A and B are shown apart, each in its own frame.
Chain A
Amino acid sequence: GENVEQHPSTLSVQEGDSAVIKCTYSDSASNYFPWYKQELGKRPQLIIDIRSNVGEKKDQRIAVTLNKTAKHFSLHITETQPEDSAVYFCAASPPDNQGGKLIFGQGTELSVKP
């Protein structure tokens, strides 16, 4: 089955700097890659997603890139702010006809220092 690896596990940056989180996946047929932000005790919140027919997607300070050949995708946050501090998860959706099934990476705890 699908396996998703995420790095780094923790990331500390200064306010205003950029943050990059990387994920790799194992199933080349996976076709949907969302990123979630989760605050303590709360549900994951979708922040951006990308499908396998697109190489890059941007939404204001957040961007995601996908390299299908290498089977990796990355989250880029620019001009980080203290409120960006949270745990971020990448995920991959395997193509087993069950829309919404997600295999998650291990998570990255991002800390943005003012």
Chain B
Amino acid sequence: GAVVSQHPSRVICKSGTSVKIECRSLDFQATTMFWYRQFPKQSLMLMATSNEGSKATYEQGVEKDKFLINHASLTLSTLTVTSAHPEDSSFYICSASGHRNTEAFFGQGTRLTVV
């Protein structure tokens, strides 16, 4: 199957700083990538849809200025958590698909801890 790599797997940052998370499709071109957030013992919540070469589409209630998404190439999307606060601590996970209605391939996830 297709491989999606997410980096870093864990990151600890201080309040007020920004953190960038990378999501790469290693063996296929991902026209669309998705970013999810998962709190402990909860479900995956879709944050935004990242389309190569265009602006991301954010789900209702997700602050686009706080969660900056860039999808500059067909193999890389980045999520930057700006001015991080302890409540931003969560498990962030990306997925990628190549074309319509195909299986979504997930990255390993990033455990973000803001102290």
Interface residues of A, Cβ cutoff 8 Å to B: 31-32, 34, 41-44, 46, 49, 51, 89, 93, 97-107, 109
Contact = CB atoms under 8 A, between A and B. Distances in A.
Max chain A C-beta neighbours (<10 A), residue from B49, B51, B106: B106
B95 interface: yes
A44 B95 CA distance: 10
Nearest to B106: A43
B55 interface: no
Contact of B49 (A42, A43, A98, A104): A98
Contacts of A51: 101
Interface residues of B, number: 27
Given A42-B109, A43-B109, A98-B49, A32 B101 contact: yes
Contacts of B43: 89, 104-107
B21 interface: no
B76 to A, nearest CB: 16
Contacts of A32: 101
Contacts of B41: 109
